[in-house]
């Protein structure tokens, strides 16, 4: 099996308010994409009064950045236990996860919930102890508490050897030791490339992708988002949507999008390891497998559901 060495797919997981949005903004800023980030964030927030009121992140927002000739896709994961099933599906798109923990509060209930799911999904976990600038922060103690949580959740020996870093997302820096001189978030960007495995990529196999989330656009209709497990896909390709106990359905792919910063760009082709958004699959649901005509086999016997929330992001 080949690897796509130039790609990393990571999830970002945390208890609410521990700093996911701030860290992603900070990553996009340092990798040169701040302007787009602000525009889109404002639009997303504007479009959803519920999110604004609750002051929490309820959307699975995707982002990507380029660093040292690598493309890193970031999938945001809802931290709420009541989003049953969604977290697992979203984590399936990633090979690694950034677990953010507030250096003052320490691990909280949603930290445990999302960490459990990420460990079950077998992701490489990088621990980010955030908000070390807070006056009463206790980074080393919180790191110990995180280790205890890993043990409590039955992490394997290998999972216990997690890489960790200390951060002040708000002030735009990460350090390997809280006593280090803060500069920027380069240590985190390097750590992601060094420790998260690149995706497996059987590019020559027949096309296979699992639909992990859905989006809608007035202009493009339904948009199926997922990671390509095998093969390649191009606009206008003939595909089949399959699911357990359902009639397979044939479709013609409309457009193929790759994630680009906080938006998307149209692609002429995407292949195994990429996280893509496909249009033209009108009746597709989360949990469906999209395949080439020759191998209509469902990838996962997961429950098919309509999304509990609608997800929006702009399509360039």
Residues forming contacts to ligand GDP in the complex (CB under 6 A) are: 14, 16-22, 57, 130-131, 133-134, 168-170
Measured from the CB of residue 17, what is the shortest distance to ligand GDP in angstroms? Answer: 4
Surface-to-core class of residue 113, CB atoms within 10 Å of its CB (0-12 exposed, 13-18 middle, 19+ buried) = middle
Measured from the CB of residue 131, what is the shortest distance to ligand GDP in angstroms? Answer: 4
Please provide the distance, in angstroms rounded to a whole number, between the alpha carbons at the two ends of the chain: 34
186 versus 238: smaller Cβ distance to ligand GDP: 186
Cα separations in angstroms, 165 against 13, 74, 192, 263, 286? 15, 18, 11, 28, 34
Distance in angstroms (rounded) separating the CA atoms of residues 243 and 289? 6
Name the β-bridge partners of 5: none
Measured from the CB of residue 232, what is the shortest distance to ligand GDP in angstroms? Answer: 34
Distance in angstroms (rounded) separating the CA atoms of residues 141 and 280? 51
Distance in angstroms (rounded) separating the CA atoms of residues 274 and 6? 11
Measured from the CB of residue 175, what is the shortest distance to ligand GDP in angstroms? Answer: 12
- φ/ψ of 108, rounded to 5, equals -120, 175
Surface-to-core class of residue 163, CB atoms within 10 Å of its CB (0-12 exposed, 13-18 middle, 19+ buried) = middle
18 versus 71: smaller Cβ distance to ligand GDP: 18
262 versus 281: smaller Cβ distance to ligand GDP: 262
Measured from the CB of residue 292, what is the shortest distance to ligand GDP in angstroms? Answer: 38
Measured from the CB of residue 233, what is the shortest distance to ligand GDP in angstroms? Answer: 32
Residues whose CB is less than 8 angstroms from the CB of residue 63 and which lie 6 or more positions away in sequence, other chains included: 24, 27, 28, 37, 73, 74, 76, 259, 261, 262
78 versus 198: smaller Cβ distance to ligand GDP: 78
For the chain, what's the residue count?
A: 316
55 versus 301: smaller Cβ distance to ligand GDP: 55
137 versus 291: smaller Cβ distance to ligand GDP: 137
């Amino acid at each position: 099996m080949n690897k796509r060495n130039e790609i990393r797919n990571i999830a970002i997981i945390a208890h609410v308010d521990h700093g996911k949005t701030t860290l992603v903004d900070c990553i996009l800023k340092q990798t040169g994409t701040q302007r787009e980030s602000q525009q889109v964030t404002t639009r997303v927030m504007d479009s959803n009064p519920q999110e604004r009121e609750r002051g929490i992140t309820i959307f699975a927002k995707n982002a990507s950045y380029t660093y040292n000739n690598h493309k890193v896709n970031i999938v945001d994961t809802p931290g709420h236990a009541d989003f049953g099933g969604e977290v697992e599906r979203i984590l399936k798109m990633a090979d690694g996860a950034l677990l953010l923990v507030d250096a003052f509060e320490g691990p909280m209930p949603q930290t445990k919930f999302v960490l459990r799911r990420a460990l079950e999904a077998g992701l490489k976990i990088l621990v980010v102890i955030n908000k070390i600038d807070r006056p009463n922060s206790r980074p080393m103690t919180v790191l110990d508490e995180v280790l205890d949580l890993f043990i409590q959740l039955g992490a394997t020996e290998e999972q216990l050897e997690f890489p960790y870093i200390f951060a002040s997302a708000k002030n735009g820096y990460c350090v390997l030791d809280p006593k280090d001189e803060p500069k920027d978030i380069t240590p985190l960007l390097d750590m992601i490339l060094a420790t998260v495995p690149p995706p497996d990529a059987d590019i020559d196999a027949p096309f296979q992708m699992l639909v992990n989330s859905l989006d809608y656009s007035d202009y493009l209709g339904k948009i199926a988002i997922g990671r390509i497990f095998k093969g390649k896909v191009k606009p206008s390709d003939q595909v089949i949507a399959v699911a357990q106990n359902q009639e397979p359905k044939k479709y013609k792919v409309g457009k193929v999008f790759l994630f680009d910063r906080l938006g998307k760009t149209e692609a002429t082709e995407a292949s195994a390891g990429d996280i893509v958004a496909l249009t033209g699959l009108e009746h597709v649901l989360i949990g469906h497998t999209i395949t080439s005509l020759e191998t209509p086999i469902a990838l996962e016997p997961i429950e098919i559901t309509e999304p509990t929330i609608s997800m929006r992001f702009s399509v360039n």
